[in-house]
Amino acid sequence: MNTGVIAASGGIQAEPFPVRLKPNNPSDLDMLPPGAVGTVAIYTENSLMTHVIRRVMIQMSSILNYLNPIL
């Protein structure tokens, strides 16, 4: 049944989401310290242009996380 009411857009927010990794090669775990964090994007077949933008954002965040400038 269609009520004609649109859901409020403020109710949906991005929040941290824990994920457990199970690598195919157990020696890959040697590179990850306990408590390691990361950024992930889920790409679908819709909104292909936003995939490019998101990919650049993830690359920039990884570069900024790698650099530790002395202030």
Q: Does the pTM of the predicted model rise above 0.75?
A: no
pLDDT digits (tens, 9 = 90+) for 4-28: 676 666 666 677 777 777 888 888 8
pLDDT digits (tens, 9 = 90+) for 25-53: 888 888 888 877 778 888 888 878 888 89
Domain boundaries, the chain: 41-71
- According to the model, what pLDDT value does residue 71 have? 57
CB-CB contact of 41 with 58 (8 Å): yes
Q: How far apart are CA 52 and CA 20, in angstroms?
A: 26
pLDDT tier, 63 (very low <50, low <70, confident <90, very high otherwise): confident
- According to the model, what pLDDT value does residue 10 have? 65
